[in-house]
Amino acid sequence: MDLFPLYNSLRVAAISTVITFFTGIAAAYYIAKTPRVVKGILDCVLTLPMVLPPTVVGFFLLKTIGPLGPVGSRVLELFGARLVMVWYSAIFATTIVTFPLMYRTARGAFEAFDETLLYSGQTLGLSNTYLFWRVMMPNCRQGILAGTVLAFARALGEYGATTMVTGYIPGRTATISTTVYQFWREGNDALAYRWVGVNLIISAAVLIVVNLLENRYRQPGRAAKDVLSDEEDVIR
Amino acid sequence: MTISVDIRKRMGDFLLDVNFETGNEVLALLGASGCGKSMTLMCLAGVLKPDEGRIVLDGRVLFDSRGGINLPPQERRVGLLFQNYALFPNMTVEGNILTVLRKERRERRREKLAALLEKFYLQGLESHYPSQLSGGQQQRVALARILASDPSLVMLDEPLSALDTYLRWQLEAELVRLLEQFEGTTLYVSHNRSEVYRICRKVCVMHQGISDPVCGVAELFEKPGTLPAALLSGCQNYSRIERLSPRTVSALDWGVELTCGDDVTEDSRYIGVRAHSLNIIGGPGENAFACNVLRKAEDVFETILIVSPGTNGSGRANSNIRIELPKDAVRDIREGDDLWVTVRPDDVMLLRHRAPARIPAGHGVPPPGRERISRSEKQKAPGDIPAEKPKDADCAVFQAKQEKSRAG
C-alpha cells in the first residue's frame, strides 16, 4: 500500500494548524478589544467558512487562486508557480476551513479570562507581551489546546474544498479522504477499507489525546476562593 | 511622598468627580458599593483613563489631560491589591513574586524573595499554587508581590471584605502591621465604617461618584458635615430642618424643636442624631420630646427601639427614630408605650446637603443621576427600617451592609 496519502494529509494538516494557531489566536485577541458593532461584523465574516458548505469555500478559492483568478494569475506571472492542483493547494483550503474553529475556541477562552489578572500584572510593571504569553495563554490553555486539536482533526478530514483545489493526483496531491473516495469510485473496496481504517485510527487517537490533556490540565478551581460578597452574608 | 488627585470621568449616567490630596499615611476612601471607589483606584493605577484632570505622585505627573500625559500602568509605580487578590493561578507563590523581580540580578532576586517570604510569613508555602492557599495566605502573597514591585503608592480595594467574619479580626491586625512597615502612601478602600475607624487616620468620603474633602477619622464620626458622610459613618436618624434661632432648629420630619451645640449656618439642611445618643427620661426637659414605641428589637448586646415622635396616634407615619440602649434600661418598655426621649445639644449634628459636583468640560447638562438624588432627598423616605430610608439602590445595599456590620 502506497502511504503517500497519509504523509501528505499529515503535512497539510500540520502546516495549516500552525497557521491557524497564530492567526486564530491573534484574531481572537484583537477582535475582543474592538467596539461591539465591528466585533459582530468581523465575527460573522470569520465564522462563515465553518457553516458554509466546503464546496462553496472551494469555489471561491478556485476563483481567487486559480490561474485566472486575481491572486493566482499574479503569482503565476511573478513566480511561475501554480497555486492549484499542487500538494500545497490543500493548505489554503484547510486553513480557511479550520480557522473558525481555532478563532472561536480561543475567543471563548479569552472572554472567560479574568481581566483583573492582566490589570494587576500591568500595575506590577509586567509588559503586555509577557502577560499575554506567561499569564493569559497558560490560563486559557485548555480552550486553546482544544481548538488546536480540533483544527488539526478537521484539517485531516477536510474533503470538499481540498478536492476542488487539488483534484486527485496519486503520489502528488492525494490525501486520505480523497483516496477513500477514489478507491470507492473505482470499486476497489479492499483498499478503500484500509484507508477508512487509517482514518478511524487517527481520529480515535486525536480524541484520546484531547481527553488525556484535559484531564492532565484540569485545575482545582480558580485562584481566589469563593468570594462571598457581603450581600450574600446578609442573606445568610 | 504625596499624591494629589483631581480627576473627572463619565461613564454613561455615572459621573466620577474625585479630588483629594494626601501625604505619607493611610487614607481611607469610604463609600457605599457602586459609588466609584474601585473606579477611582483603576484610574490611579492607569487601567482606566479619566476624561480630564491631573494625578501627581511624589512630583511625578502620572496623568494630565491638558499636558496630554497618561503614563501606562507599568511606569506608574502604583500597587493595587484587588478584591480577589488577582494572583496568577498558573504560578506558585514563589513564581508569583519572582515574576515581578525577574529583571533583578540573580543573587539580589533570591535575597529579596527570601526577605519578602519572611516578612509575610510565607516560608514553607513557596511551591504552593494560589488555589491551595487560604484567603488570608493569598492576601499575604498578593501584598508581598506588590511590595516586590517597589511601589510609591499602595491601594487596597476592600481587602477584608472577601473573608469570613471570624477571620477578619486576625487578618486586620496583620494588615495593620504590614501597612505600618510600608513607607509610602496607602489608599484603603472600604464601605465599612468601623474598619476605617480602626485602621485609618484620615478619610475621604465618596458618594455617588463624588468625593468630599479629606478629614480626620475622628472628625468624620463627631461632625460628619454632610448627609452622605453622616449616613456612611453610621448615623441612622436624620431630619430636614428649619432654622429658628442661631442655636435652635425645627426638625421638620420629627415635628420637634431642638437646641444644637453649634451655630446653625446658612447651608445646614439636615440634622443627624446617632441611635446611641438618644436617652429616655421621665418627663419634659431640654431637647426632650414625646415618642411612641413602634417596635422593640433585641440585638446581641443592646435593645433597639423604633419610635415615632409624638404620642400615640399623633405621630407622623414616615419619621421613625431608632434608639439603642442597654438591655437593662428598657426592660419594662413595651411596644405601644409612650415615653420621653432626650438628646444632648452637642450630639445634634448639623449637616450640609453635600459638596457640589464639578461637571467635566463638554458636559454642560447635569447628568440624570444627580437629579434623581436630589429628588429622592426632597421626598424624604420613611425612617424606620434602614433599608427603606434612602431611595437609591446603592444606599439600600449600604444600609444592609451596615446592619450586618452592627450585628457582627
Which residue from A minimizes the CA distance to B76?
A: A123
HEC sequence for A67-132: CCCHHHHHHHHHHCCCCCCCCCHHHHHHHHHHHHHHHHHHHHHHHHCCHHHHHHHHHCCCCHHHHH
CA distance to partner chain A, nearest, from residue B240 (Å): 30
Evaluate whether A66 touches A72 at the Cβ level (below 8 Å).
yes
Q: Which of B51, B68, B12 is nearest to B361 (CA)?
A: B51
User: Contacts of residue B75 in chain A, CB cutoff 8 Å?
Assistant: 125
pLDDT score at B103: 85
Record the pTM. 0.73
Q: Taking CB atoms and an 8 Å cutoff, what residues of chain A touch B100? A: 124-126
pLDDT at site B175: 85
Other beta carbons within 10 Å of B301: 8
**Cβ–Cβ below 8 Å for A223 and B89:** yes
From the list B72, B89, B164, the residue facing A219 with the nearest CB is B89
pLDDT, position A89: 92
Tens-digit pLDDT string for chain B (408 aa): 789 999 999 988 889 999 999 988 899 999 888 888 989 999 999 999 999 999 999 999 999 999 999 999 999 999 999 988 999 999 999 999 999 998 888 889 999 999 999 888 888 999 999 999 988 889 889 999 999 998 999 999 988 877 777 777 778 888 888 888 788 899 999 988 888 888 888 999 888 888 888 888 888 888 888 888 888 888 888 888 888 888 888 888 888 888 888 888 888 888 899 988 888 888 888 888 888 888 888 888 888 988 888 765 555 555 788 999 888 888 888 888 888 889 998 888 888 876 655 555 544 444 444 444 443 443 433 333 333 334 344 444 444 444 445 443
Q: Is A115 on the interface with B (CB under 8 A)?
A: no
Helix axes A4-31 and A176-185, enclosed angle (nearest 10): 130
**B196 to chain A, minimum CA–CA distance in Å?**
16
pLDDT at position A216 is 60
What is the C-alpha to C-alpha distance for residues A34 and A37, in angstroms, rounded to an integer? 8
Chain B interface residues (partner A, CB cutoff 8 A): 42, 45-47, 72-80, 82-90, 99-100, 130-132, 134-135, 138, 142, 145-146, 148-149, 161-162, 164-165, 191, 397, 400-401, 403-404
Which residues, in sequence order, are bridge partners of residue A236?
none
* Candidate from B87, B100, B134 with C-beta closest to A125: B100
User: Mean pLDDT by 10-residue block, N- to C-terminus, for chain A (236 residues)?
Assistant: 90 95 93 88 91 93 90 89 90 94 91 90 93 91 86 90 91 91 92 92 86 62 35 35
d(CA B87, CA B70): 26
* Residues 193-222, chain A, touching B (beta carbon < 8 A): 219-222
By the CB < 8 Å criterion, does A171 face chain B? no
